[in-house]
Structure 1
Amino acid sequence: MIPFALQYIIVLISTLVLSAVATPIVRFISFQIGAVDNPNARRINKVPMPTAGGLAVFIAFAVSVLGFLPGIIQHLTIDESYFDYVLPLVIAGGLVIVTGLIDDIKELKPLPKMCGILIAAIIIWVWTDFRFDDFKIPFGGPLLHFPSWLSFVLTVLWIVAITNAVNLIDGLDGLVSGVSIISLTTMGIVSYFFLHDSDIFLPLTIFILVVAIAGFLPYNYHPAIIYLGDTGALFIGFMIGVLSLQGLKNSTAVAVVTPMIILGVPITDTVVAIIRRSLSGKKIYEADRMHLHHRLLFMGLTHRGTVLVIYAISFIFSLISLLLNVSSRLGGVLLMVFLLLGVLILSEMIGIFGENRTPLLNALRFIGNSSYRQEAIAKWKSRRLK
């Protein structure tokens, strides 16, 4: 009999091949149904580009977890049915795919698009145990148990927030695909080795999604011949949001912080965007060209160089999340402090908070530059005299 590990590797390879084969077909279909990004002032592409590439990722993922994987898992001594475990994920993910596909074709308004994501998130809360029902305050805090109504609100809020955060960074060829592969791979490693009472089904599902995205990435990497579109970006963001809930409700404090660090790139970009727009008096959902990838391009990096830099940042976040799981409490606190400082300094250096909003850099200049310090003190005294 073939060992389970070898059977699983065969499933991973089959999923990768299926995604790679499905992508050109989906590319052709995208042109036929009008799921195309035409160039405009906010677009990076200079020619019409087929979207809905996420449909290929979903097809490979769904076929694998509903068809291939249940057949090999049934031989294990596990009471729970994997098919029953994963079916609600596929149904909810399919609803997100449909929502994104309609948006790629007709450009939905924010409200109906949000409704599709909300309904999918509710399906997850009702039919799965991916729920935000417990939360351990990190670094010595108590374990909080939420009532059902609060668990519902927090679960839906987390899934919707992560879905939109991932969708928000989808601005360059291969950006979401690569960052998602890095984040999900780290999440799979953490769930297998570090989460207490974690079900083996979780890492198995995560790595299937990783290879489904990996099969699509060569077509999506710069210069791309197909985009994920909202079809893919929303689906991948939704799945990341759902799968990361297992860590958030874990009784280990470090496990609570880990998914937030793993998703550092989309979460940081979203939080900074909200702060920036609020300080500028804009609506928090109002689009701009001040995201991380926009700022790196503005600094003179090439398209591919910008993507690689963000991959590197995502990898650093993931490495820190792994270190956090093997460090002491003091080491974990120091890691978090230096991570926060690093994020703030990087954000100010590349200007994603907005022009002249660099309080931390100004403080460092005040400490390390005597001329700047004297000038700042003189300005402060002049204001006091007025």
Structure 2
Amino acid sequence: MIYLTMLVCFITSILITPLVKKLAFKIGATDKPNQRKVHEKIMPRLGGLAIYISFVIGFLIWGPNDLHAMPILIGGTIIIITGILDDMMELSAKVKFGGQLLAALVVVFYGGIQLEFITLPFGGQLNFGFLDIPITIIWIVGITNAINLIDGLDGLAAGVSSIALITISAMAMFMGDVFVAALGAILLASTLGFLIYNFHPAKIFMGDTGAMFLGFMISVLSLLGFKGVTVISLIIPVIILGVPISDTFFAIIRRIVHKQPISAPDKSHLHHCLLKLGFTHRQTVLIIYAIAAFFALVAVIFSQAKIWGAFFLIAVLLILIEIFAEKIGLVGKNHKPLLKFMRGLIYVKEER
């Protein structure tokens, strides 16, 4: 049944996207070129609506009997409405945050999705107490915006989200969580249908409508999929979402280092840095797909590792991320503390 539903979602997304493209032009949901954008002509940016409609159709066909289902659908609908309004008239950051917060509150209070505690690796557990709701909301809103931040090239956010959804659904299926696996699969099929039109050269952008919806859904699915919460299982979704999370993290560091407002836009995100190095648009997207797939593979290995092996894997991963970020200038051309430290060690060794 779920495979048939996925096929319906995929075909629906392919059929609906051209209609959404026409609608985007009609209601003025377009993206105009400027100094921060890489495209050179006016583009429709309501593509996320096609993903949402396809997903809802699949959701209704499947008819999940789960207490989390309706709150997730309502929260997702709030995000979609917020995204459509933003794609049409460019809402202020406060209004967008308000929509994201309302959606998060729906799944937390109506859906009962909360990160209440984590089991520590060497025994015992850490209860979050009154912080469980704020931590859950920060996660949902944070991932929603992280996916939105990487939506800077044709097919980038849709492809990276698809890789994350494949990983989350596969691991949920392995753990016997049919609800998360099926919901992720339906969303994946809807996204892949849209990606046909969104891959370079794109005919339509997903806009904030799509980027925020995918970010919201992935954040909620990752919370549900790894709710048997140990320190290890809490880290798994962080690794799966390594591309958007690390890009957001370095964007914050970059703005602090350069004494800019954290919300200030710039052209120094991961995809911008790769483009500056001389990679083409398509090559840059494929490189980031490969990085996302690498994170997904690490997450799978991490889930099977013993405690000390997991800690070692995380340490190596963090070092690799920092070296890569310094190599491509993700924080700044001259901000290379780890590389300078390593060169210093090599120099001292040679002097001896």
Query: What TM-score do you get using the length of structure 1 for normalisation?
Result: 0.88
Does 2:147 align with 1:169? no
- Residue 253 of structure 1 deviates from its aligned partner by 3.3
1:353 aligned partner:
331
Asked if the contact 1:365–1:372 (Cα under 8 Å) also holds between the matched residues in 2, the reply is no
Q: Which amino acid letter does the alignment assign opposite residue 85 of structure 1?
A: H
Stretches of structure 2 that go unaligned for 5 or more consecutive residues are none
Report the Cα offset of residue 89 of structure 1.
Answer: 1.1
Task: Give aligned-pair identity as a percent.
Answer: 41
Distance, in Å, in 2 between the alignment partners of 1:97 and 1:209 is: 14
Does residue 343 of structure 2 align to residue 365 of structure 1? yes
Name the CA distance, whole Å, in 2 between partners of 1:271 and 1:51.
26
**Partner letter of residue 16 of structure 1?**
F
Q: Secondary structure at the match of 1:82?
A: coil
The 2-side partners of 1:310 and 1:373 are apart by 39
- In 1, Cα distance between the equivalents of 2:110 and 2:75? 10
Name the SS of the counterpart of 1:244 in structure 2.
Answer: helix
CA contact (8 A) 1:247 1:255 kept: no
Once the two structures are TM-superposed, the CA of residue 180 in structure 1 deviates from its matched residue by: 0.3
Say whether the 8 Å CA contact 1:136–1:256 is kept in structure 2. Answer: no
Superposition deviation, residue 84 in structure 1: 4.8
Contact kept in structure 2, 1:133 and 1:249, CA below 8 Å: no
Residues of 1 paired with 2:351 and 2:319: CA distance? Answer: 21
The equivalent of 1:384 in structure 2 is none
Larger CA deviation: 181-190 vs 360-369: 360-369
Which residue of the partner structure matches residue 143 of structure 1?
A: 125
Distance 1:200 1:300, change over 3 A: same
Question: What's the offset of the Cα at 1:82?
Answer: 1.8
Q: Which runs of structure 1 show a deviation greater than 6 angstroms over 4 or more consecutive aligned residues?
A: 371-374
1:246 matches 2:224: yes
Q: What is the deviation of 1:241?
A: 1.0
**Cα displacement string for residues 243-286 of structure 1 (whole angstroms, at most 9, x for unaligned residues):** 11125542333211100000000000011111111111111111
Q: Is the 8 A contact 1:173 1:222 kept in 2?
A: yes
- The equivalent residue for 1:119 is 102
What do the CA deviations read for 1:183-226 (whole angstroms, capped 9, x no partner)? 111011122224xxx64211111111111101100100000000
Aligned partner of 2:88 among 80, 83, 105: 105
Q: CA deviation at 1:140?
A: 3.0
1:227 and 2:205 matched: yes
* Matching of residue 82 in structure 1 with residue 65 in structure 2: yes
User: What's 2:263 paired with?
Assistant: 285
Q: Counterpart of 1:134?
A: 117
Unaligned runs of 5+ in 1: 1-6, 71-80, 375-386
Note the 1:153-302 alignment, pairs <5 A: 153-194=134-175, 199-247=177-225, 249-302=227-280
| SS, match of residue 121 in structure 1 | helix
Residue in 1 aligned with 2:61? 68
| Equivalent AA in structure 2 for residue 86 of structure 1 | A
Paired residues of 1:134 and 1:250 also in contact (CA < 8 A) = no
Instruction: Determine the structure 1 residue equivalent to 2:303.
Output: 325
- Residue 155 of structure 1: how far off its partner (Å): 1.2
What is the letter of the counterpart of residue 174 of structure 2?
Answer: F
Alignment RMSD: 1.7
Distance 2:229 2:67 in 1: 25
What's the counterpart of residue 4 of structure 1?
A: none
Contact 1:53 1:231 in 2 (8 A): yes
Separation of aligned partners in 1, 2:83 and 2:177: 30
Match of 2:126, SS state, is strand
TM-score using structure 2 length: 0.96
Quote how far apart the aligned CAs of 1:293 are.
0.4
SS at 1:282 equivalent: coil
